[in-house]
Chains A and B, each alone.
Chain A
Amino acid sequence: MEVTTDPGAVARADRLVLPGVGAFQDGMAGLRARGLVEPIVDYVASGRPLLGICLGMQLLMSKGTEFGEAAGLGLVRGKVVTFGADGRPVKGKVPHVGWSRLTPINSWAGSVLADVAPGSSVYFSHSYFPAPEEEGIVLATAAHAGIEFCSFIRRENIQASQFHPDMSGAIGLAITKGFVDQPE
């Protein structure tokens, strides 16, 4: 495993994790400044497995809305929105910080969630989440402040979590192992 900002390393990778914390536009600006946008898009087009985490998941979407609208990587169609943006009442604190349960929406078979028990709690730390427009790609939701939101997507070789597998204890380790063991 290697932590890198090198476009060449992205091009050569067998597996790619796109992590991230912070604001959407800063994240995109960071990818652009390091010349990483094209290598990531090419990597996904090659069919190799990608795992987006938190802001790394949000950046995959076509559009962000944090501090104004901005284009994302556009690998998954849809916007990144905050709690209550669609008019649903927010009955709790935002940011959502803490452990929440994963509710299965579409089958987890073959995904990095395959070995995770439905209803398992995972660690979240975020104010925004993706609202994908494509059918069937949401594998799991979670709920906070009375609002159910997309917390895991899978679309072909792209998988992404709004929560942090890296801070989710034994369940996070199972997800990480699942990603390492994904077929090419």
Chain B
Amino acid sequence: MPHATAEVAGVRVIPRLDIKGPNLVKGIHLEGLRIVGKPEDFARRYSAEGADELIYVDIVASLYQRNSLLDIVERTASEIFVPLTVGGGIRTTEDVANLLRAGADKVAINTAAIGRPEFISEAARMFGSQCVVLSIEAKRQGPGAWEAYTDNGRERSGRDAIAWARQGVDLGAGEILVTSVDQDGTGRGYDLDLTRAIATQVPVPVIACGGAGGPGDVVEVVRAGKADAVALAKILHYGQADIGSVKRALADAGVEVRA
């Protein structure tokens, strides 16, 4: 063969942009938000640096029960041509349709699915599993036990995060975004046990999120945590690392990434 083909798809490096109103924000443990800048500016920069996808989350949407990102999504989709996942406050198949029409490629669903799991099936049947990402915000309860939370880590759901991931896939979710509420914004590394527990128990790709303090943490969550993709926020937003340095670290560790 003229070109070597990789055995599996490359690990995706995905900036996660939490958005409040018109602003990109970042907090700790999904709380204590600070304004970082304009999401479109950061999205443009990340795309130019080689981001494999982007995730936008309307961070206050669940509180107000609506997603207010349609305009920002539309502006982003008109100039950025990598997959865009949008989450926050998505409650109906009409919400999904509106976001897809605005230019989103996938939607991330958490709170509404916890309240009514059939929503995952309805969205998957109407728009395809490939566009339904189940977002799980997990808080450690003890060794090997995590509970799924809603409303940006504020409310308990009573659901075991691992069992919920499996159920979500059975209902039609095409990917799982796993955010460790404990690690989020701390820079102390991903929750490797949580990521591995879910990634090895579901057949669909798992995106690890929450806790990256440097490229080394990303390598760890791929190698030890078995993540299929990694989401990054703070270290990118504050310039502690860029997409290139993260991908170089992965490539140096023998992990396939998109050049």
A contacts, CB < 8 Å to B: 21-23, 91-101, 103-104, 118-119, 121, 123-126, 141-146, 148, 164, 166-170, 172-173
A157 to chain B, nearest CB (A): 25
**Contact A99 B127, CB 8 Å, known A123-B83, A148-B5:** no
**Contact A93 B52, CB 8 Å, known A98-B229, A124-B9, A169-B81:** no
Q: A21 contacts which of B5, B128, B175, B229 (Cβ < 8 Å)?
A: B128
B5 to chain A, nearest CB (A): 4
- With A103-B1, A125-B174, A142-B5 known, 14 other A-B pairs at CB within 8 A are A23-B128, A93-B203, A95-B204, A97-B9, A97-B130, A98-B10, A99-B10, A100-B5, A103-B5, A118-B3, A119-B3, A123-B83, A144-B7, A144-B8
Q: Is B258 an interface residue (CB 8 A)?
A: yes
Contact A97 B81 (CB under 8 A): no
Contact with A along B202-219 (1 / 0, CB 8 A): 011100000000000000
**Contact A96 B3, CB 8 Å, known A21-B130, A123-B83:** no
Which 4 A/B pairs are nearest by Cβ-Cβ distance?
Answer: A98-B9, A143-B5, A22-B128, A21-B128
**Contact A22 B127, CB 8 Å, known A92-B7, A101-B5:** yes
Contact with A along B1-26 (1 / 0, CB 8 A): 11101111111100000000000000
The count of A-to-B residue pairs whose CB atoms sit within 8 angstroms is 97
Contact with A along B182-211 (1 / 0, CB 8 A): 000000000000000000000111000000
Contact A100 B9 (CB under 8 A): yes
- Nearest residue (CB) in A for B1 is A103
- Among B6, B9, B228, the one with the most A-chain Cβ atoms within 10 Å of its Cβ is B9
14 residue pairs from A and B, CB less than 8 Å apart: A23-B128, A95-B129, A95-B130, A97-B9, A97-B130, A99-B10, A103-B2, A119-B3, A164-B83, A167-B82, A167-B83, A168-B81, A168-B82, A173-B81
- Nearest residue (CB) in B for A125 is B130
**Contact A91 B8, CB 8 Å, known A103-B1, A118-B3:** yes
Q: Which residues of A contact B2 (CB under 8 A)?
A: 103-104, 118
Q: A143 contacts which of B6, B127, B175, B203 (Cβ < 8 Å)?
A: B6
Contact B130 A126 (CB under 8 A): yes
Contact B130 A121 (CB under 8 A): no
- Nearest residue (CB) in B for A101 is B5
Q: B10 contacts which of A93, A100, A172 (Cβ < 8 Å)?
A: A100
Q: B6 contacts which of A100, A126, A141, A167 (Cβ < 8 Å)?
A: A100
A11 to B105, CA, bound (A): 28
- Nearest residue (CB) in A for B84 is A167
Q: Is B131 an interface residue (CB 8 A)?
A: yes
A17 to chain B, nearest CB (A): 15
A121 to chain B, nearest CB (A): 4
Contact B10 A121 (CB under 8 A): yes
Q: Which residues of A contact B130 (CB under 8 A)?
A: 21, 95, 97, 125-126
A119 to B10, CA, bound (A): 13
B252 to chain A, nearest CB (A): 18
A118 to B4, CA, bound (A): 11
A54 to chain B, nearest CB (A): 9
A23 to B9, CA, bound (A): 22
